[in-house]
Structure 1
Amino acid sequence: MAGALSPAAIDRLLADAEAAGVGIDGQGGLLQQMMKAVLERALQTEMADHLGYEAGDPAGRGSGNSRNGSYPKTLTTVAGPVTVDVPRDRRAEFEPMIVPKGRRRLAQVDDMILSLYARGMTTRDITAHLKEVYGSEVSPALVSKITDVVADEITAWQNRPVDEVYPILYIDALSVKVRDGGMVTNKSAHLVIGVDVDGIKNVLGIWLQDAEGSKFWLNVLTQLKNRGLRDALIVCCDGLTGLPEAINTVWDKALVQTCVTHLIRSSMKYVSYTDRKKVAAALKPIYTASTESEALSALDELRSDYGKNYPGLLASWERAWEEFIPFLAFDREIRRVIYTTNAIESLNYQLRKITKTRGHFPSDDAAIKLLYLGIRRIEGRHIDGDGPIPQGRVRGTGTLGWKRAMNHFMLAFPDRLPL
């Protein structure tokens, strides 16, 4: 392998191609010819292994089976369409592995299609891309079929075991349009993100629903409990109907905490652009207060200064106050990871980028498929480097300042975290 890829060998290939007037890429280019040669050589090697002797070897006489010519097969590859000669044997028993019967694409093409789909390209966009860049004819229906292969993977992912305890759970939703019963309706894709004891964030599941309520949320959280999640210390959520009641039913010791970042953003919607900087500065003493009484004083000051002009601003904070104040009881290290991590918002932002290219999805399964592929791509990145993934764990993203926060979690929630 080293000799074949040596600079001298590459220089000879390039020189031969230049002398023959052959380009590097494109139809009939050097890369396509090399792809054809490598595939055909691999097929011949497979045939020799199948028969037990090389072509022309006298050992094959009287063996009962032999080579029987070949047939052409055009494959879609990352170098463009490549026609290879697939060898046959007289007994028709040869089953090639590198180019299996019935397949017209190399595995790398399927991987590339899944990657493009996960980045928000539609099936027709991918078809056009493959045609323009690789000269390959792949129909939108085939692209959709290729992406459907993750269906079993999604089922396994949605039902996989989870950790027994999560210091933080984030629960939120993003809106998607789905065709249902002949009509396009708005549905909410609910995501649950768990931050484990190592500070690694992973999406635990996706639940698509057009209406919220205690019954729906009780079903979601019970599923998580049945998958092994017996306790959650802090559950961050924002204004989802029936969710706090369901949390307290499933995990009676869990603290329900309004997402502070969501609260700030939702309350700022009532403020005119010219006053936003001043109001943002006035809000800061509330969520950075040391005690609830200090936060109430800051809220009173906000009411005095802006309550008349922006009653909606005050109403947002007053309505969420009971779910906001648990935040004030935490040490600043815990507050920092709850506030600055803002895991759901970051994930939702990236997922919205890939869903906004769709006018609507033809089914719930299609919406979940795209969201799952997007999550799988996002969770492939890891803030703590490129070290090995622990056995049984999906790689996720880390949390800055987690070690300091975890020390305070151990003090604030004794006997509830694994040693």
Structure 2
Amino acid sequence: MANEKKSVYKCKPLTDGKREIIQKLLQEYDIRDAGGLQEALRDLLGGTIKSMMEAEMDNYLGYEKSQRSDSDNARNGHKVKRVRSSLGEMEIEVPQDRNSEFEPQVVKKRQKDISEIDQKIISMYAKGMTTRQISDTLMDIYGFEASEGFISDVTDKLLPQIEEWQNRPLESVYPVLFIDAIHYSVRDNGVIRKLAAYVILGITCDGRKEVVSINIGENESSKYWLGVLNELKNRGVQDVLVICADGLTGVKDAISVAFPKTEYQRCLVHQIRNTLKYVADKDRKEFANDLKDIYNAPKESLGAEIRDRVAEKWNAKYPHAMKSWYTNWDALTPLYKFSENVRKLIYTTNTIESLNSSYRRLNRQRSVFPSDQALLKALYLATLEATRKWTLPIRNWGAIYGEFCIMFEGRLPE
């Protein structure tokens, strides 16, 4: 379970600029106690929101307050509105237009609670925007300056939530787990390093997808993967029927120790890609069709015969292309035990590809992450965005589950 300790905000060192702001605040509001400070901050928030909505009105009408215009619409004073905020209830002034067509976005019509303004910033962060891009967007749209430090502080509020998510209890049995890796550039003490985000996606006993964990690491090894799998066991996982992964260093040995009854299925899509990288473009389509015959064979012995024929056909031209099919054969063949429905599920990590597309979008929007913590926050938010759509079981799950119950007798709830 997650640590139940409440996170405590630690005040950052006072700079000269902060001291000057505090002095002006004390002078302007004559603050004498905590209640006075709360009142002052509430007043400042209301003034800031008013300025942001005035900027929205300028943008809507196409001219600023001090300018003239031939438009038939114009400003028409303000309306007082009572809202709830993180600082308590407060009144704000909402600018009006003569035609009553202005739709403010900072505080929308009929919106009574603005305590989620932080969520707007977090939402932009979730879409892959950097703190600089978020700051610029707030300035462009609202004329409101939010420092990169402020935005970072807002997103840091996620850290206790992420820690709780990373340590949440898991299902006792997963029919299938997929493991995949995506690489990112991360700055560490001025040096840019390549780090991998290792994502584990589970299929639950009711056929639904669940992101089980996200780990950021540098070097793969049996020891590393054993630690990751033992962490899953410590969170309640007792059994996994099949684990599908690419050729991650050490993962096969770690699986045999942590879950000795689990089938390890190497991803055939990655296997085929690695094979075809040795092949000239003109031969690639024909070679790929030959490889397809291997994994579509009805049983392992026939698959091995086809493998040998493919190797014999192409070895003179591409002597190294088929080598890994012999080296990895034991990890490529578990799928032969199953029907087409199960094969489609486990022969590739495509089940995780839609999730990976969300993660790769982060790479396109950020060439370098300022820290591994910033990367973790972005991955967590991207995960929340992607998994909102996961409302239904995977296709043909009833038939797949029934087959698993027979093949792995006594290991699944019936």
1:134 aligned residue: 142
Change over 3 Å in CA distance of 1:35–1:180 after alignment to 2? farther
The 8 Å contact of residues 243 and 262 in structure 2, kept in 1 or not, is answered as: yes
The 8 Å contact of residues 79 and 93 in structure 2, kept in 1 or not, is answered as: no
Counterparts of 1:5-404 in structure 2, within 5 Å, are 37-39=80-82, 79=104, 106-339=114-347, 342-382=350-390, 384=392, 398-404=393-399
| CA offset digits 1:82-141 (Å, max 9, x no partner) | 8xxxxxxxxxxxxxxx78xxxxxx344322222221111111112222222333322222
The 8 Å contact of residues 82 and 92 in structure 2, kept in 1 or not, is answered as: no
TM-score w.r.t. length of structure 2? 0.74
Change over 3 Å in CA distance of 1:32–1:402 after alignment to 2? farther
Does the residue aligned with 1:184 lie in a helix, a strand or coil?
A: strand
Using the alignment, how far apart are the partners of 2:188 and 2:120 within structure 1? Answer: 30
Structure 1, unpaired ranges of 5+: 1-20, 48-69, 83-97, 100-105, 385-397
TM-score w.r.t. length of structure 1? 0.73
| CA offset digits 1:184-211 (Å, max 9, x no partner) | 1111111111111111111111111111
Aligned length: 339
Using the alignment, how far apart are the partners of 2:235 and 2:348 within structure 1? Answer: 29
Q: Which amino acid aligns with 2:386?
A: I
CA drift of 1:338 comes to 1.6
Deviates more, 1:291-300 or 1:301-310: 301-310
The 8 Å contact of residues 80 and 134 in structure 1, kept in 2 or not, is answered as: no
Identity level (%): 38
Using the alignment, how far apart are the partners of 1:31 and 1:41 within structure 2? Answer: 29
CA drift of 1:362 comes to 2.2
Using the alignment, how far apart are the partners of 1:168 and 1:337 within structure 2? Answer: 9
CA drift of 1:400 comes to 1.7
Match of 1:414 among 401, 409, 412: 409
Q: Which amino acid aligns with 1:328?
A: Y
Report runs of 4+ in structure 1 exceeding 6 Å deviation: 25-28, 30-35, 40-43, 70-73
Using the alignment, how far apart are the partners of 2:286 and 2:232 within structure 1? Answer: 42
Using the alignment, how far apart are the partners of 2:76 and 2:331 within structure 1? Answer: 65
The 8 Å contact of residues 178 and 184 in structure 1, kept in 2 or not, is answered as: yes
Q: Which amino acid aligns with 1:39?
A: R
Q: Which amino acid aligns with 1:408?
A: E
CA drift of 1:159 comes to 0.1
Using the alignment, how far apart are the partners of 1:313 and 1:34 within structure 2? Answer: 75
Change over 3 Å in CA distance of 1:166–1:25 after alignment to 2? farther
2:24 aligned residue: none
CA drift of 1:346 comes to 2.8
Q: Which amino acid aligns with 2:234?
A: N
Does the residue aligned with 2:183 lie in a helix, a strand or coil?
A: strand
Deviates more, 1:269-278 or 1:372-381: 269-278
| CA offset digits 1:62-83 (Å, max 9, x no partner) | xxxxxxxx9999xxxx93678x
CA drift of 1:38 comes to 2.3
Does the residue aligned with 1:199 lie in a helix, a strand or coil?
A: coil
| CA offset digits 1:37-67 (Å, max 9, x no partner) | 3237999x958xxxxxxxxxxxxxxxxxxxx
Using the alignment, how far apart are the partners of 1:40 and 1:219 within structure 2? Answer: 49
Please provide the CA RMSD for this pair. Answer: 3.3
Does the residue aligned with 2:125 lie in a helix, a strand or coil?
A: helix
Change over 3 Å in CA distance of 1:22–1:350 after alignment to 2? closer
Using the alignment, how far apart are the partners of 1:308 and 1:365 within structure 2? Answer: 50
| CA offset digits 1:253-288 (Å, max 9, x no partner) | 111110122212222222222222111111111111
The 8 Å contact of residues 176 and 355 in structure 1, kept in 2 or not, is answered as: yes
Structure 2, unpaired ranges of 5+: 1-56, 66-72, 95-102
Change over 3 Å in CA distance of 1:314–1:40 after alignment to 2? closer
The 8 Å contact of residues 188 and 208 in structure 1, kept in 2 or not, is answered as: yes
Does the residue aligned with 1:311 lie in a helix, a strand or coil?
A: coil
2:400 aligned residue: 405
Does the residue aligned with 1:37 lie in a helix, a strand or coil?
A: strand
The 8 Å contact of residues 341 and 399 in structure 1, kept in 2 or not, is answered as: no
CA drift of 1:250 comes to 1.2
The 8 Å contact of residues 178 and 363 in structure 1, kept in 2 or not, is answered as: yes
Change over 3 Å in CA distance of 1:211–1:234 after alignment to 2? same
Using the alignment, how far apart are the partners of 1:248 and 1:31 within structure 2? Answer: 73
Change over 3 Å in CA distance of 1:414–1:378 after alignment to 2? same
Change over 3 Å in CA distance of 1:383–1:280 after alignment to 2? farther
Using the alignment, how far apart are the partners of 2:214 and 2:254 within structure 1? Answer: 17
Using the alignment, how far apart are the partners of 1:341 and 1:127 within structure 2? Answer: 37
CA drift of 1:244 comes to 1.2
Using the alignment, how far apart are the partners of 1:189 and 1:80 within structure 2? Answer: 36
Change over 3 Å in CA distance of 1:237–1:71 after alignment to 2? closer
